[in-house]
Structure 1
Amino acid sequence: MNGNIKPIKRSRIRIALGKLFYTYKRYSEWYFTSKKYTKTYSASLLPEIIFTHKTPLFRKLKDVDMWMQHNKVNNLRIAAKKLNGIIINPGETFSYWKLIGKPNRRKGYVEGMVLFYGGFKAGVGGGLCQLSNLIYWMTLHTPLMVTERYRHSYDVFPDSNRTQPFGSGATCVYNYRDLQIYNGTNQAYQLRVYLTDEYLVGEWRTTEKPMYTYEVYEKEHKITHEYWGGYVRHNVICRRVFDINNNIVDDEYITENHALMMYQPFLEEHTKNSIC
Structure 2
Amino acid sequence: MFKSLEYQPKKRSSFRVFLGTCFYRTKRYLQWLTTDETFAKSRQSELNQHVIHTHRTPLYRELKDVDLWYQENKVKNLKIAVRELDKVVIKPGETFSYWKLLGNTTKRKGYVDGMVLYYGSFKPGIGGGLCQLSNLIYWMTLYTPLTVTERHRHSYDVFPDSNRRLPFGSGATCAYNYLDLKIKNNTNETFQLHVYLTDQALVGEWRSTSPSLTHYEVYEKEHRISHEYWGGYLRHNQIFRKVFNKADVQIDDEFITENHALMMYEPLLEQKTGSSPK
TM over 0.5: yes
Deviation at 1:16, TM superposition (A): 1.3
Matched, 1:174 2:138: no
**Pair 1:20–1:100, CA change in 2 (3 A):** same
How many Å separate the matches in 1 of 2:29 and 2:203? Answer: 29
1:78-137 alpha-carbon deviations (Å, 9 max, x no partner): 001100000000000000011011111111111011000000001110000000000000
Deviation at 1:10, TM superposition (A): 2.2
How many Å separate the matches in 1 of 2:179 and 2:24? Answer: 9
Q: Which amino acid is 1:174 matched to?
A: Y
Unaligned runs of 5+ in 2: none
Q: Which amino acid is 1:112 matched to?
A: G
How many Å separate the matches in 1 of 2:275 and 2:37? Answer: 41
Deviation at 1:194, TM superposition (A): 0.3
How many Å separate the matches in 2 of 1:269 and 1:97? Answer: 36
Equivalence for 2:201: 199
Q: Is the 8 A contact 2:162 2:270 kept in 1?
A: no
Note the 1:150-229 alignment, pairs <5 A. 150-229=152-231
Deviation at 1:160, TM superposition (A): 1.7
Q: Is the 8 A contact 2:62 2:274 kept in 1?
A: no
Equivalence for 1:107: 109
Q: Structure 1 stretch 196-205 or stretch 7-16: which is displaced more?
A: 7-16
Q: Structure 1 stretch 83-92 or stretch 31-40: which is displaced more?
A: 31-40
Local SS of the residue matching 2:74? helix
Local SS of the residue matching 2:21? helix
Equivalence for 1:2: 2
How many Å separate the matches in 2 of 1:9 and 1:216? Answer: 36
Q: Which amino acid is 1:245 matched to?
A: A
Note the 1:109-148 alignment, pairs <5 A. 109-148=111-150
Deviation at 1:8, TM superposition (A): 2.3
1:175-197 alpha-carbon deviations (Å, 9 max, x no partner): 10000000000110000000000
Deviation at 1:268, TM superposition (A): 6.4
How many Å separate the matches in 2 of 1:22 and 1:2? Answer: 23
Q: Which amino acid is 2:197 matched to?
A: L
State the TM-score, normalized to the length of structure 1: 0.98
How many Å separate the matches in 2 of 1:97 and 1:52? Answer: 22
% identity of equivalent residues:
62
Q: Which amino acid is 1:52 matched to?
A: T
Q: Which amino acid is 2:12 matched to?
A: R
Equivalence for 2:45: 43
Unaligned runs of 5+ in 1: none
Equivalence for 1:12: 14
Local SS of the residue matching 1:41? coil
Deviation at 1:271, TM superposition (A): 3.1
State the TM-score, normalized to the length of structure 2: 0.97
**Pair 1:245–1:99, CA change in 2 (3 A):** same
Please, what is the CA RMSD of the aligned residues?
1.1
Alignment coverage as a number of residue pairs: 276
